[in-house]
A and B are shown apart, each in its own frame.
Chain A
Amino acid sequence: MGARRRLTPALLTLTLACAFCFGAIVKLAFADDYHVTGVGHGYLHGASQTDGSFFARVESGGGSGSRMCYLYVSGVFVGGYWVGNATCNAWSREFGDYTECRSTSHTKFLPWFNEHVHKASNWCG
């Protein structure tokens, strides 16, 4: 018969801390919608969440570095831009007609943030 382990307060605290960190990592890798790290960036809906009009955007400012704004649908690259010191604004309509709830933006602007993903608010992927 195996030894029984007790869930001591210390072990419980450690377990909760690990769970929190895992959640934070997942949140960072798949950040929701739009946020500011140096400059505003992320995913924006157009006139509605279901009309197939949506954007990947990185705002200007924060230095002169180049910035990337790409759109993916169902994990497949559909299009986007690299720009200099400007607002990078990729609009889905320029690349076709796509299902909005399966779309993500991929944005990058060094040294502020490396490439990461923002999902549609009504994510259904």
Chain B
Amino acid sequence: MTSTSAVSQTPIPRDELPAQSDELGAQADDPRGGPRWAVRILDRNAGSRCIAAVRMQNGVVGSVDEDGRLVPTPAVRTGSCADPRSEPLQLALARIGGRGASGPRSVLVAIADSSVAAVAVVGPDGARSVKLDASGSFLVVYEGLAAVDSWSVTVTMNDGTSRDYHL
């Protein structure tokens, strides 16, 4: 005699979507050294482009484990994903809990289109101007988990007008 048990037919959401293109934008040192930070730009020319904060070393992209080693991560659509035509600036704040010696970090990542002339960031330590790299991206790295309302970004457009962004 065989027995059967009920099995739920509810589909389980699974969604690890590989990106079709993967490039690195602006880079910055970590306040305590180790692999650098970078803006990972996924599916740049797609209807939905993603930007994420990653670590990088010797051409390898990933996250840092509790021993400070870089663990590669594949190009999966993650971070902030949006239509690149919807706003001149796509902005995201990554907050990383951090384990071991690496400690927590707050990393502001963004990518601007060609209509943006300049960007100024106000963060937990005050105002600073940032430089867009060739990809149009920039990032700012802070130690600790900064409150989300401690950030604002002002964009000056090529026509002289400005726009404020908050998270």
Task: Give the B-binding residues of A (Cβ under 8 A).
Answer: 33-34, 42-49, 53, 55, 57, 60, 66, 68, 70, 76-91, 93-97, 121
Contacts and interface: CB of A to CB of B under 8 A. Distances in A.
Given A93-B73, A94-B54, A94-B63, A85 B14 contact: no
A45 B12 contact: yes
Contacts of A70: 95
A84 B81 CA distance: 10
B97 A76 contact: yes
B54 A82 contact: no
Contact of B76 (A42, A76, A93, A97): A93
B38 to A, nearest CB: 12
Interface string B4-36: 000000001111100000000000000000000
Nearest to A59: B81
Contacts, number: 119
12 contacts: A44-B15, A45-B12, A46-B15, A60-B81, A76-B97, A77-B97, A84-B167, A86-B82, A87-B80, A90-B78, A93-B74, A94-B73
A117 to B, nearest CB: 16
B41 to A, nearest CB: 14
B92 A83 contact: yes
B48 A82 contact: no
B78 A91 contact: yes
B128 interface: no
Contacts of B79: 81, 83, 89-90
Contacts of A121: 12-13
Nearest to B12: A121
Which residue, of B71, B92, B165, has the highest number of chain A Cβ atoms within 10 A? Answer: B92
A95 B165 contact: no
Given A45-B14, A86-B81, A121-B12, 12 more contacts: A42-B13, A55-B78, A76-B97, A77-B145, A79-B96, A81-B79, A82-B93, A83-B91, A84-B80, A84-B87, A93-B63, A94-B63
